[in-house]
Amino acid sequence: MRTLILGGVRSGKSRQAVEIAGTHPVTLIVTGAARDEEMAARIEAHRRSRPPEWRVIEEPIRLAAALRRSAAPTEVVIVDCLTLWLSNLLCAGDAQALARESADLLETLPRFAGDCVLVSNDVGCGIVPVNALARRFADEAGTLHQRLAAVCDRVIWMVAGLPVTIKPGVS
């Protein structure tokens, strides 16, 4: 089962991913990097909140490759989060990175062995951003989410800590 969890900041997306994983063995692929003190504090809070037996892979760019290395039929792989991954790609200094890595992810997911839960911030519900990079980020996130929703079995939108199932999937 491939699940996409969307929602705003602090909407309960990561908690929902943990609930979906249940008692299965988990590999967590994290995409964030501690580039400042505030982000370091966020990452540390996430570290403290997750079970110590989880295997953690830090991968800011080559997400599909990390997924292929992590696939196991009896495990759940959680990716947290796609919008940080998207930011990393947009700022990578490689004009082709976003197209290349997104295509690789979209090719990898349908053949993924095991359960995969993708966490991402829904950024399209607010005002139109003021600068070109922020507008591109919102556009790219929206396009990525649509393409992922098409290949995922289940899509959940988190609102105020409550899961709203958009695409139910079959377990």
Structural contact between residues 78 and 40, judged by C-beta atoms closer than 8 angstroms:
no
pTM over 0.95: no
Sheet holding 162-167, edge to edge: 55-58, 26-30, 76-80, 115-121, 2-7, 154-159, 162-167
Q: Can you tell me which residue has the tokens 């289940």? A: 154
| Percent of all residues in the chain with a pLDDT value above 90, rounded to a whole number | 74
Does residue 125 surpass a pLDDT of 70? yes
Higher pLDDT, 170 or 38: 38
Query: Which residues are identified as catalytic?
Result: 46
Q: Which pLDDT score, from 0 to 100, does residue 33 have?
A: 81
* pLDDT the model gives residue 171: 58
Whether 45 contacts 34, CB under 8 Å: no
Q: Is the pLDDT of residue 128 over 90?
A: no
Pairing of strands 154-159, 162-167: antiparallel
Residue 32 scores a pLDDT above 80: yes
To the nearest whole number, what is the mean pLDDT of the chain?
Answer: 93
Question: Which band of pLDDT confidence, cut at 50, 70 and 90, is reported for residue 60?
Answer: very high
pLDDT in tens, 76-104: 999 999 999 999 999 988 989 999 999 99
Give me the pLDDT at residue 45, please.
86
Mean pLDDT across 138-162: 96
- Residue 53 — very low, low, confident or very high, per pLDDT cuts 50/70/90? very high
Distances (CA, A) of 77 to 26, 140, 166: 6, 24, 21
Least confident piece of the model among 49-53, 58-62, 111-115, 135-139: 49-53
Name all domains of the chain by residue range, CATH numbers in brackets.
2-167 (3.40.50.300)
